[in-house]
Amino acid sequence: MKPASTAVVLLVLGTITHASGSSLLAQTSPVWLANVPTPTANAVATQYPKDEDIKVAPLGGPYPLDISTYPRPLKMPPSDHPEVQEVMKHIDWSKVPKIQPRTIKDYLVDTSGYDPRTDTDCWWTASTCKKPKLDYLPEDIYTCPKAGQWGLNYDDGPLRVWSFDQEKRQWEEPRFYNFMVEHNKQKATLFFIGSNVITFPEAAQRALNDGHTICAHTWSHQQMTSLTDGEVVAELYWTHKAIKEVLGITPKCWRPPYGDVDDRVRAIAWQMGMRTIIWDQDSNDWNLVSLRMNLFQHENSNSTVSMSERWLPEIQKVFDVMPIHQCLNDPYPYWEESWTYPTADNPSLPSEIDHPNSVRHSESSGHSAGGSKQGKPTSSAATRSTNTFGSSANGSNTFRQAVAVYLIFMIMSLIVFT
């Protein structure tokens, strides 16, 4: 796998600074979510949970939620809705490149006619580009920086099985969440579909209560570069709103379905408060001397859950498995100051005063919205690592990790093709 080349970024209100010194487009907390009602008392955690509070248990609920105020689940939300139109007023459209929406051909975005060598739009589907052509947008997050780390993440949840067949329903949550509790109280990054959040709020709340990191995965799982600007805003807005109303948090992270993203979609998502997370799929170019993984999986069927239950314990034996933000040493995945997470380098929780959005943080440290007095970033959101498995002490680990990766893909192949 190719090593990451992600810049160090400080996420604060105001200007954001690359490690190289160039400025990113200002990013602020989504003000259009300020009046969204938050969960009722004691329905969900309001800060990172204590270890003793994470237990195998059935779901609570049902949680009362008026879904009539939302678009139809898993259907394209309308872009002319007044709430969507209000969000669009907050976006600086001069910073959104004029890229025409892609066309769909045989259910896929049509890449014919696009030159991936020049790749003027940094279109991931055509070129797997992760570093925007626009210098005011950050590079996509796609891998953990240190050798031996595994950024555990799942798309498409929370999983609900719509069936009266109890044998089929056994696969829905909290099955896999309980499985992770039973296996060292494992934490993961969960990319939730907004529609699934409102139709299964109890499961979404359970995931947050267990200490998982929640990111957005759009409302109806569309190929995002095929949408108009307004449709992109609608997909992201309703997902953000659902997560805020059910969980009380506002994620700074999102993943495009199928990885389909270009600089137009990135620019909209960034101005809506979210950084793009992809994955590294260069499976024929892994560097086993410094193996680090961000392999995406799904939480959307009995097959994907079964696969995860089979290989996760084996991966835990040979990798340092953790959520993506933890391996990036970013303890602040949400805009809310009350939420801070442990990181790879700092297992203890940072204090609220350290949150980059906190006024007290700025006053106590002398940091302005533009960075530190020295002009350097003050938090290592994502840094390059020089650690490798090159030493003799770690040589056996390299082999074991390579075998583990091979076994994972063998298991995946058996499930997909049998």
Residue 253's contacts (CB-CB under 8 Å, 6 or more residues apart) are 141, 189, 213, 215, 216, 274, 275, 277, 324, 325, 333
Residue of 385, 388, 389 lying closest to 399 (CA atoms)? 389
User: Which of the residues 81, 110, 119, 298 is marked catalytic?
Assistant: 298
**Distance between CA atoms of 276 and 255, rounded to whole angstroms?**
6
Q: Using an 8 Å Cβ cutoff, are 79 and 231 in contact?
A: yes
**Which among 49, 63, 55, 48 is positioned nearest to 202, based on CA atoms?**
63
In one-letter notation, the amino acid at residue 346 is: N
Whether the CB-CB separation of 302 and 171 falls below 8 Å is answered with yes
| CB 190, CB 213: distance < 8 Å | yes
In the numeric block, the tokens 């999986």 are attached to 297
Q: At what angle do helices 229-247 and 201-209 cross, to 10 degrees?
A: 70
Residue where the block lists tokens 């949680």? 63
Contacts of 368 (CB under 8 A, 6+ apart): 14, 362
Are the beta carbons of 336 and 342 closer than 8 angstroms? Answer: no
Asked about 155 being catalytic, the answer comes back as yes
The active-site residue out of 121, 140, 155, 330 is 155
Positions annotated as catalytic residues are 155, 298
